[in-house]
Structure 1
């Protein structure tokens, strides 16, 4: 993990974005608007 920090590891950005999207999806499922 420490060896690729100098490059700016795009993997971390992809993982962060993926976790954010999953969080939004889970939040939408939990807090479904009941109309």
Structure 2
């Protein structure tokens, strides 16, 4: 992500909660590349 942002790309981070197979909850980041038209 760092390299893409340094290159000028727009990267959006969304934080979501996910549950593992063991039943533990973790907050993870989802990254999206925004493309202009």
Coarse TM-score class (shorter-chain normalised):
under 0.3
| Structure with greater Cα Rg | 1
TM-score under structure 1 normalisation?
A: 0.20
Q: Please identify which structure carries the higher strand content.
A: 2
**Larger relative contact order (Cα-Cα within 8 Å, sequence gap ≥ 6):** 2
TM-score under structure 2 normalisation?
A: 0.20
